[in-house]
Chains A and B, each alone.
Chain A
Amino acid sequence: MRYAETGFNLEIDLSRGNIEKVATDPRDTELYLGGLGTNAKILWDRVPPEVEPFSPENLLIFGAGLLCGTPATGCNRTIVTTISPQTKLMAFSMMGGFWAPELKYAGYDKVILRGKSPDLVYLWIHNDKVEIRDASHLKGKGSIETAEILLKELDEPKAQVAAIGLAGENRVYYASIEQGRSSASRGGIGAVMGDKGVKAIVVRGTKDINIAEPEEYIGLCNDVLKYIKERDGNPIPGVMPILAGLGSPQEMKVHDEKWHTENFMWGNSRTRIKDFWSDEVEKEWTETMENARTRLISCFNCPMKCGATITMPGLPTYMMKCFTKLTYTFGAFSDLDFGLRIAQQATEYGVDGFSAPQVMAFALELLKDGILTDEDFPGMPEDSEGRFYYLLDKIVRREGIGDILADGTHWAAQKIGKGAEAYAHNNIKKIEQLPLKLSMLNPIYFLMYATGEKMNITQIEGQFPQAPFPKREHREKFVEDWIQVPDDKFKQYFLDWEMRGENSNPYYPTVDMTCDIVDWQEMMHYIDDALGQCAGLSSFPLKPPYHIHNYPKFIAAGAGIDMDEEKLTKAAKRYRTLVRAINIRRGMRRIDEAPPEDHWKKRFPELEEQLLDGYYKLKGWNNDGIPTSESLHELGLDYVSEDFIKRGILDK
């Protein structure tokens, strides 16, 4: 018997209409855990670097994390992996919600899609019954609308639906996969789903998930719940409210947006509006949110209420998560009312809430500066809000200029030319980022931005405070119960970190310290992504309930795998390296590893090189960011090194 996991993947060949239930190798679970780890293994084995994102040979993998569906609080993420149309590299966007546990209860760890369906279809997975069904009646329908129709049509109100909207159908490079209150948005995975001709995957499961050491496991779960309760009652002093508690930033709950609105950039990530947050704005926005928000809601088996049901007057209800609350508002220089209204449309269309508003603001900036002209925008309204609705529509339908903009700022700028490239300025590895522009280089964030292969800062950062605390006594207080650190040296790093003077940014933390900190932060995210644990209870907040000291016990008691901190650290390093190997094989190199050029005003080229050198060394990569044969051997990844040598990526 397999524990925590089901031991089966569902292989679906859309070209031939073939469905197979395939037993997986338990040794892969030991080496790569599950979720992201085993997704990466499959992608490495089966998708060679020549395969284009929109090729039938590309795979689209929906992987439930190893511990999803067990009683571990907050463990509910689906890790969706494919080759991204936007970056041409590996994408592994994730979604919380209810889909992954349902898949496990249906008896599968992953759904692996290959080929292309000639007609639009949806998949209906109901325990052992799996069908490819006609979806022609769903063509052009919104993602929420689609889910509603399918639940009714199948008469299965308890089923979970992951669906694309019009953007996915039309292969918009930043199309999302929407699932109730969650979505897998980054990297254009919705476009790959659309390219495969799959409108939705509906899952319903009523089988058991087994636990290897029941008493031990439930004890661990109870400890986590107890810790959440205590931590909830004791927010961390001295940091801003959204960083003081657990969960992903409580954007639906918090009304005070002074920090975001005054420190983040508006428009095409250019304009900072100091003193934006007036009493009047606060009153208006609070009213908007309170009227719109019906209920604060959660994902499967999690007490954190990070999302909300939103009903704007005159519009259908949708569910909102986190920061999309503000991205359209920022992009269009508008207000919260507009932001929540257009997000309803955007959710139905299924687009990424970071990229979409940025692309639209980019287009309007090109128009303002004469690189695009009025002729490119026939019939466009005059007001900013109207323009955003206009552009959103053009993009998801790929009409006119929308067809170019649908490829994202990077590719659109290439096509437009005439200096448009300089306007696609807020990307890492071709993906639009949060609209943040800062002054002094932060070495920790530099490394995360440069080397993170999730290409999304909020999915890399966490654990270590974002900034030093002004007073030493506060720092001493903070480290007192900092049990999450893998090693006590991290406490010292933090204790000695000052706001000003010798021990401050950018030269402190030192290169070695910075590398250690980033490595720890990244490792925790990668472990979460294999187990299916939401970062909001683990790698993202300060002092989370899950950490490197209790995770091995969860894996051992849950999945029955012999595990300790050393083995887990090595496993995480193994599949993290494999993710890198997939991208290296697709051409990614050191030159691609850079933050947006204007992210910080004060840059330190020499220090930045040292940081990259140091980090690569710590990771076992050579100076070009390629994993070395020695480090690959140590991780049991000789097959990667053989492939690299064959391709001339590494010397023999």
Chain B
Amino acid sequence: MKAEKKMKIVKTIKINVDECNGCRACEVICSAVHAAPKYSSNNPARSRIRIIRDPLRDIYVPVLAGEYTVAECAGRDKYTIDGKEYDECSFCRASCPSREEFHEPDSGLPLKCDMCENEENGPLCVQWCLVDALVYEEREVEVDEEETQEELEIGLDALASKFGMQTIMDTVARMSNKER
């Protein structure tokens, strides 16, 4: 097994909750760009970004839809940050049975942010956020790139060293004849 260093682009939306004005333009445009045909409708309930907002408690957290999960967490914690109490779910990206965010309103199917990969200028929520609560960034990170052997290959390797390659090939030929 050989490992080598490789550069990888990580698409990032930097979320500055202090700048969020709670207007939900991101939800509007996200649901519009993902409509079929594109922009033919909009509906924040279908958006893959949602603002968790509680204006009187000054809570404004834009959250992007992440992975689907079949079960909710066993326990849900509370965080206090700068004197404000946040539900753990306020930062969670999961499409989860415990809440309505990130599920199609009709079918309940999970929604996931795709970073608007087909859009020339990057995520639409960022483009529509004029108050700079959302800023798009592409980060380059160094990752270990490993050439991993497939499972079958590893198995065959082991058999070949035990029985010899010719025996393996004969056996495979005989077995495939039998199947016909």
Q: State the A residues within 8 Å of B (CB).
A: 69-71, 73, 98, 105, 144, 148, 157-158, 180-181, 205-211, 214-215, 217-218, 225, 228-229, 232, 294-303, 305, 309, 316-319
| Least distance between B107 CB and chain A CB atoms (Å) | 12
Across-interface contacts of B57 in A (CB, < 8 A): 317
Contact with A along B40-56 (1 / 0, CB 8 A): 11111110000000111
Pick from B45, B56, B105: contact of A317, CB under 8 Å: B56
| Least distance between B85 CB and chain A CB atoms (Å) | 14
Across-interface contacts of B60 in A (CB, < 8 A): 295
CA of A548 to CA of B5, assembled, Å: 59
Determine if B25 and A211 form an interchain contact, defined as CB atoms under 8 angstroms apart: no
CA of A298 to CA of B25, assembled, Å: 10
Across-interface contacts of A210 in B (CB, < 8 A): 40-41
B128 within 8 A of A: yes
CA of A207 to CA of B28, assembled, Å: 12
| Least distance between B56 CB and chain A CB atoms (Å) | 5
Determine if B39 and A214 form an interchain contact, defined as CB atoms under 8 angstroms apart: yes
Determine if B21 and A73 form an interchain contact, defined as CB atoms under 8 angstroms apart: no
Q: Which residue of A lies closest to B25 (CB)?
A: A301
Apart from A206-B43, A303-B21, 11 more pairs, CB < 8 Å: A69-B42, A205-B45, A208-B46, A210-B40, A211-B41, A214-B38, A215-B38, A228-B130, A298-B131, A301-B24, A301-B28
Interface CB pairs A-B, < 8 A, 17:
A71-B32, A158-B100, A206-B43, A206-B105, A207-B105, A208-B42, A211-B40, A214-B35, A214-B37, A215-B38, A218-B39, A295-B60, A297-B21, A298-B21, A298-B131, A301-B28, A319-B55
Whether A305 touches B58, Cβ cut-off 8 Å, given contacts A105-B45, A214-B37, is: no
Across-interface contacts of B44 in A (CB, < 8 A): 105
Residues from 88 to 115 in B contacting A, C-beta threshold 8 Å? 100, 105
| Least distance between B90 CB and chain A CB atoms (Å) | 11
CA of A139 to CA of B23, assembled, Å: 31
B21, B100, B131 interface centre (most CB from chain A within 10 Å): B21
Determine if A71 and B29 form an interchain contact, defined as CB atoms under 8 angstroms apart: yes
Q: Which residue of B lies closest to A302 (CB)?
A: B23
Determine if A302 and B25 form an interchain contact, defined as CB atoms under 8 angstroms apart: yes
Determine if A180 and B42 form an interchain contact, defined as CB atoms under 8 angstroms apart: no
CA of A214 to CA of B39, assembled, Å: 5
B66 within 8 A of A: no
Across-interface contacts of B46 in A (CB, < 8 A): 208
Whether A207 touches B55, Cβ cut-off 8 Å, given contacts A214-B38, A303-B23, is: no
Across-interface contacts of A144 in B (CB, < 8 A): 56
Determine if B43 and A298 form an interchain contact, defined as CB atoms under 8 angstroms apart: no
Whether A309 touches B130, Cβ cut-off 8 Å, given contacts A210-B41, A298-B21, is: no
Across-interface contacts of A299 in B (CB, < 8 A): 23
> What total of A-B pairs shows CB separation below 8 Å?
95
CA of A307 to CA of B55, assembled, Å: 12
| Least distance between A311 CB and chain B CB atoms (Å) | 9
| Least distance between A553 CB and chain B CB atoms (Å) | 15
| Least distance between A530 CB and chain B CB atoms (Å) | 21
Determine if B55 and A225 form an interchain contact, defined as CB atoms under 8 angstroms apart: no
Determine if A71 and B45 form an interchain contact, defined as CB atoms under 8 angstroms apart: no
What is the predominant secondary structure among interface residues of chain B facing chain A?
loop
| Least distance between B97 CB and chain A CB atoms (Å) | 15
CA of A316 to CA of B56, assembled, Å: 9
A299, A301, A318 interface centre (most CB from chain B within 10 Å): A301
* Number of B positions contacting A (CB below 8 A): 31
Whether A209 touches B41, Cβ cut-off 8 Å, given contacts A144-B56, A295-B58, A302-B23, is: yes
Determine if B55 and A309 form an interchain contact, defined as CB atoms under 8 angstroms apart: yes
CA of A317 to CA of B46, assembled, Å: 31
CA of A334 to CA of B38, assembled, Å: 55
Across-interface contacts of A207 in B (CB, < 8 A): 43, 45, 105
Determine if A148 and B56 form an interchain contact, defined as CB atoms under 8 angstroms apart: yes
CA of A303 to CA of B58, assembled, Å: 17
Determine if B39 and A217 form an interchain contact, defined as CB atoms under 8 angstroms apart: yes
Across-interface contacts of B29 in A (CB, < 8 A): 71
Determine if A71 and B42 form an interchain contact, defined as CB atoms under 8 angstroms apart: yes
Across-interface contacts of A218 in B (CB, < 8 A): 32, 39
Whether A71 touches B28, Cβ cut-off 8 Å, given contacts A105-B44, A209-B43, is: yes
Determine if B21 and A296 form an interchain contact, defined as CB atoms under 8 angstroms apart: yes
Pick from B23, B38, B39, B56: contact of A298, CB under 8 Å: B23
Across-interface contacts of B58 in A (CB, < 8 A): 294-295, 309, 317
Q: Which residue of B lies closest to A217 (CB)?
A: B39
Contact with A along B4-31 (1 / 0, CB 8 A): 0000000000000000011111001100
Across-interface contacts of B45 in A (CB, < 8 A): 105, 205-207
| Least distance between B27 CB and chain A CB atoms (Å) | 9
CA of A557 to CA of B130, assembled, Å: 24
Q: Which residue of B lies closest to A156 (CB)?
A: B100
Q: Which residue of A lies closest to B56 (CB)?
A: A317
Q: Which residue of B lies closest to A151 (CB)?
A: B54
Determine if A225 and B130 form an interchain contact, defined as CB atoms under 8 angstroms apart: yes
Determine if A300 and B21 form an interchain contact, defined as CB atoms under 8 angstroms apart: no
CA of A395 to CA of B42, assembled, Å: 44
CA of A208 to CA of B46, assembled, Å: 9
Pick from B23, B32, B100, B105: contact of A300, CB under 8 Å: B23
Across-interface contacts of B131 in A (CB, < 8 A): 298, 303, 305
Across-interface contacts of B35 in A (CB, < 8 A): 208, 214
Whether A303 touches B40, Cβ cut-off 8 Å, given contacts A148-B56, A206-B105, A309-B55, is: no
Pick from B41, B105, B130: contact of A229, CB under 8 Å: B130
CB-based closest 7 A-B pairs:
A214-B39, A206-B45, A303-B130, A206-B105, A208-B41, A298-B23, A298-B21
| Least distance between A203 CB and chain B CB atoms (Å) | 13
Determine if B41 and A305 form an interchain contact, defined as CB atoms under 8 angstroms apart: no
Determine if A70 and B23 form an interchain contact, defined as CB atoms under 8 angstroms apart: no
| Least distance between A609 CB and chain B CB atoms (Å) | 47
| Least distance between B87 CB and chain A CB atoms (Å) | 10
Q: Which residue of A lies closest to B31 (CB)?
A: A208
Across-interface contacts of A229 in B (CB, < 8 A): 130
Across-interface contacts of B39 in A (CB, < 8 A): 71, 211, 214-215, 217-218
CA of A181 to CA of B23, assembled, Å: 11
Q: Which residue of B lies closest to A229 (CB)?
A: B130
Pick from A105, A225, A297: contact of B128, CB under 8 Å: A225
Determine if B130 and A297 form an interchain contact, defined as CB atoms under 8 angstroms apart: no
Determine if B130 and A70 form an interchain contact, defined as CB atoms under 8 angstroms apart: no
CA of A570 to CA of B96, assembled, Å: 51
CA of A69 to CA of B55, assembled, Å: 20
Across-interface contacts of A319 in B (CB, < 8 A): 55-56
| Least distance between A318 CB and chain B CB atoms (Å) | 8
A70, A296, A303, A305 interface centre (most CB from chain B within 10 Å): A303
Whether A105 touches B43, Cβ cut-off 8 Å, given contacts A225-B128, A302-B25, is: yes
Whether A70 touches B42, Cβ cut-off 8 Å, given contacts A214-B37, A300-B24, is: yes
Across-interface contacts of A309 in B (CB, < 8 A): 55-56, 58
CA of A317 to CA of B83, assembled, Å: 15
| Least distance between A160 CB and chain B CB atoms (Å) | 11
Across-interface contacts of B128 in A (CB, < 8 A): 225
CA of A302 to CA of B28, assembled, Å: 11
